[in-house]
Structure 1
Amino acid sequence: MLFDYVRIRFPTTDVKHIVEDVLRLKLSYFIHEDYGFYSYTEHYYLGDIFVLVSPELEKGVLLELKGRGCRQFESYLLAQERSWYEFFMDVLMEDGVMKRLDLAINDKTGILNIPHLTEKCRNEECISVFRSFKSYRSGELVRREEKECMGNTLYIGSLQSEVYFCIYEKDYEQYKKHDIPIADAEVKNRFEIRLKNERAFYAIRDLLEHDNPERTAFQIINRYVRFVDRDDTKPRSDWRISEEWEWFIGEHRGSLKLTTKPEPYSFERTLHWLSHQVAPTLKLALRLDKMNHTQIVHDIITHARLTEKHEKILKQQAAAAKEVVL
């Protein structure tokens, strides 16, 4: 299990205090922008770690870590010799308010068959507190040799509620995003528990109290959903749990552990944009230079001026994690 999304609001307008005393990172490494999101007026960011600021105390300071942000923050936690548990304890000591928490369970062996679970939802073989489910199938118009190139996603519960589940084919997502062959994907499927507000707070409290990710995650899952096999000779409430689901919730498998996957901040997204959007035009311009015996591209790059923001990015990229943490 991994933390895959963390959003926390702090009842203060002192961004330096939150960054340096709670995140324990040096604010001088963050880039400042005078605009924000979610009605915040400005924000600071270090790679994929975002800190939003408002002069209004009721909004306070908002920390947002999406998937990449969580992985990046884990590299700083490692440098600080600090765990997620210790970080969340510091958050609660600062009266931080949990706004959202996603717990991602990685299925590396393909225990979950998402099309089969979707079919069970349609056949009323999903017994749940939730009243709704949605399924999506995305793919490509041109098939490739290795697979039909379709990805399945199943949402259980309303996306507007404080708790819902998202089950999707992680191998297909990695194929689409990074062109990683499906057969080579480390994770086959992912089961995400998405929690908001009070539900997120109670999950963190349970993790801190018991230090048992297995208990926390599957208490939530078992509270809201179970998949069964239809047996028309019995009442629906007595239908037996399906064997596939039993494997997932713990029968015959090893215990679930909270793990980390620290990844340092990289320039990857910018380089990806450069290679796909800029490189073809640049190559064309270089060829024209060669044909015309000019050096226009060289002159453009030579006279380009780096802004303060670019200099800060250079500083971020050059710094080791130990230099950024406090």
Structure 2
Amino acid sequence: MEQDGWILQFRREREQNGISRKAVAAVAGVSREYLCRVETGKMPLTDQMQKRLAAALKALYPEPLNLMIDYVRIRFSTMDVRHIIEDVLRLKMKYFVQEDHGFYSYSSMYVLGDVTVMTSPDEEKGVLLELKGKGCRQFEAYLNGQKRSWYEFFRQCLDEDALFKRIDLAINDRAGILNIPFLCDKCDRGECISVFRSFKAYRSGELVRSREENKASMGATLYIGSMQSDLYFCIYEKDYEQLVKQGVPIEDAEIKNRFEIRLKNDRAYHAVYDLVSGESPENTAFGIINRYVRFVDRDDSKPREDWPMNQMWAVFIGAHRERLKLTTAPEPYTVQKTLNWLSHQVAPSWKMLLELDRKCGTNVMEEMLAVTELADKHRKIIEQQLLSVGEVIVSE
């Protein structure tokens, strides 16, 4: 596209999305007057500045950030697992698979896809609910069916005097506001002012094998705070994770970066209490972030605590953008995890044995399948796959 055409399209997009010149100029690191001269054709535009302006405009599109609940671990001080499943989760217990083992020293668990409820004969352990990332997405489908929100569910947990063992708040950066390698470099240069003393940065290049020769193209992760503490941050390039896990091209990834606030015990409780009290994800999430960390630009003429805030970081924490919203991405439970395991671990050996059967004139694999019987657990999983959300939830 010719430069004049690009500038015309840029201005049209800016105005259609209700984004001011002042906001774009602030994010791009230029003056409003400079941007005005560029848009009116009075100032030539370099390729580098064109990229900066394009990135700034994208960062300011409506809802560039959203917040999701991405991990939940809650302990209820009761031995009544049916009460937790049917009255708190509002799911039908008859559809759960019971396993004679658990995690975290629990002796058994009830499983519905990626929703796990653990029990123990030890009264002090009570009942433990665990929802990992997929479990949160699956539970959101049930919450939608129940016409409930995370706020309402957490309020009920608080009414049950539950202990919040861990909560992860994930801020999804869909516009590429954050530059993770840049933040890693700032930590190295002392331009991250934080209560935390621990920083750890690495690149997931060993996972992106086709790109090993180009270190700059490897996914970056930054941990701020100790992973053993009750509060720390994990910031990473989500688009590279999706490339590795699902083969999604970097340019097609819906989420570019993710900023995770990982909270345990009292920290988790206070975050949830604040979230349900005000129903303001913006205040809860950035109240925590701003209390513990900020990125600045070095200015040796001033004391370090007076160094100016980095503009990219200022946009992330709230300058020139809409307020953060709590969003959901409900997904039904699938056996994709099992299919992935079969594909990587079992299918090659299975194919080899079928080939041996063919060449040897035998039917070993066919006979093996013929005598294999499904356990009650497997039949229950088949049933789970065929159920609709409406059939699983408990109606009020």
Confirm or deny a common fold (TM above 0.5). yes
RMSD: 1.7
Measured in 2, the distance between the counterparts of 1:286 and 1:35 equals 34
Q: Secondary structure at the match of 2:359?
A: helix
Measured in 2, the distance between the counterparts of 1:6 and 1:315 equals 26
Measured in 2, the distance between the counterparts of 1:142 and 1:33 equals 38
Q: Paired residue for 1:15? A: 81
Q: Structure 1 residue 313 and structure 2 residue 347: aligned? A: no
| CA contact 2:205–2:212 (8 Å) conserved in 1 | no
Q: Secondary structure at the match of 1:139?
A: coil
**Is the deviation greater in 263-272 or in 207-216?**
207-216
Q: Secondary structure at the match of 2:210?
A: coil
| CA contact 2:205–2:211 (8 Å) conserved in 1 | no
1:300 offset after TM fit, Å? 2.0
Instruction: Count how many residue pairs are aligned between Structure 1 and Structure 2.
Output: 326
Measured in 1, the distance between the counterparts of 2:180 and 2:157 equals 36
Deviations 1:26-62 (A, max 9, x none): 1111111112211211111111111111122221111
Q: Paired residue for 1:275? A: 343
**Which runs of 5 or more structure 1 residues have no equivalent in the other structure?**
none
Q: Paired residue for 2:114? A: 48
1:144 offset after TM fit, Å? 4.3
Measured in 1, the distance between the counterparts of 2:129 and 2:330 equals 18
Q: Structure 1 residue 63 and structure 2 residue 106: aligned? A: no
Q: Structure 1 residue 106 and structure 2 residue 172: aligned? A: yes
- Taking a change above 3 Å as real, the CA distance of residues 292 and 18 of structure 1, as seen in their structure-2 partners, is same
Q: Secondary structure at the match of 1:221?
A: helix
Q: Paired residue for 1:158? A: 226
Deviations 1:151-179 (A, max 9, x none): 21101111122211000111111111112
**Which runs of 5 or more structure 2 residues have no equivalent in the other structure?**
1-66
Q: Paired residue for 1:5? A: 71
Q: Paired residue for 1:300? A: 368
Q: Secondary structure at the match of 1:234?
A: coil
Q: Paired residue for 1:73? A: 139
Counterpart of 1:143, as a letter, is: S
Q: Paired residue for 2:4? A: none
Instruction: Please point out which of 134, 156, 175 is paired with 2:200.
Output: 134
| CA contact 2:81–2:119 (8 Å) conserved in 1 | yes
For residues 199-210 of structure 1, what are the structure 2 equivalents within 5 Å?
199-210=267-278
Q: Paired residue for 1:31? A: 97
Tell me which protein shows more strand as a share of its residues.
1
Instruction: Please point out which of 327, 334, 337 is paired with 1:259.
Output: 327
Identity percentage of aligned residues: 62
1:145 offset after TM fit, Å? 10
Q: Paired residue for 2:391? A: 323
1:142 offset after TM fit, Å? 4.0
Q: Secondary structure at the match of 2:319?
A: coil
1:73 offset after TM fit, Å? 0.5
Counterpart of 2:322, as a letter, is: G
For residues 236-247 of structure 1, what are the structure 2 equivalents within 5 Å?
236-247=304-315
1:294 offset after TM fit, Å? 3.7
1:84 offset after TM fit, Å? 0.7
Counterpart of 1:289, as a letter, is: D
**Is the deviation greater in 100-109 or in 273-282?**
273-282
Counterpart of 2:194, as a letter, is: S
Q: Secondary structure at the match of 1:79?
A: helix
1:91 offset after TM fit, Å? 0.6
Measured in 2, the distance between the counterparts of 1:26 and 1:199 equals 31
Q: Paired residue for 1:89? A: 155
Measured in 2, the distance between the counterparts of 1:135 and 1:187 equals 20
**Is the deviation greater in 36-45 or in 285-294?**
285-294
Counterpart of 1:120, as a letter, is: K
- Taking a change above 3 Å as real, the CA distance of residues 145 and 160 of structure 1, as seen in their structure-2 partners, is closer
Deviations 1:273-298 (A, max 9, x none): 11122222222233333334443322
Deviations 1:101-149 (A, max 9, x none): 1000001121111111111111111111111111121213843499755
Deviations 1:160-200 (A, max 9, x none): 22211000111111111112222211111100011111111
Q: Structure 1 residue 191 and structure 2 residue 259: aligned? A: yes
Instruction: Please point out which of 167, 184, 190 is paired with 1:118.
Output: 184
Q: Larger radius of gyration, structure 1 or 2? A: 2
Q: Secondary structure at the match of 2:204?
A: strand
Counterpart of 1:198, as a letter, is: D
Q: Secondary structure at the match of 1:18?
A: helix
Deviations 1:197-255 (A, max 9, x none): 11111111111111111111111111111000000101111110001101101111222
Measured in 2, the distance between the counterparts of 1:86 and 1:276 equals 40
- Taking a change above 3 Å as real, the CA distance of residues 145 and 56 of structure 1, as seen in their structure-2 partners, is closer
Q: Secondary structure at the match of 2:258?
A: strand
| CA contact 2:180–2:222 (8 Å) conserved in 1 | yes
Counterpart of 2:74, as a letter, is: I
Measured in 1, the distance between the counterparts of 2:330 and 2:152 equals 16
Measured in 2, the distance between the counterparts of 1:119 and 1:231 equals 16
Q: Secondary structure at the match of 2:176?
A: coil
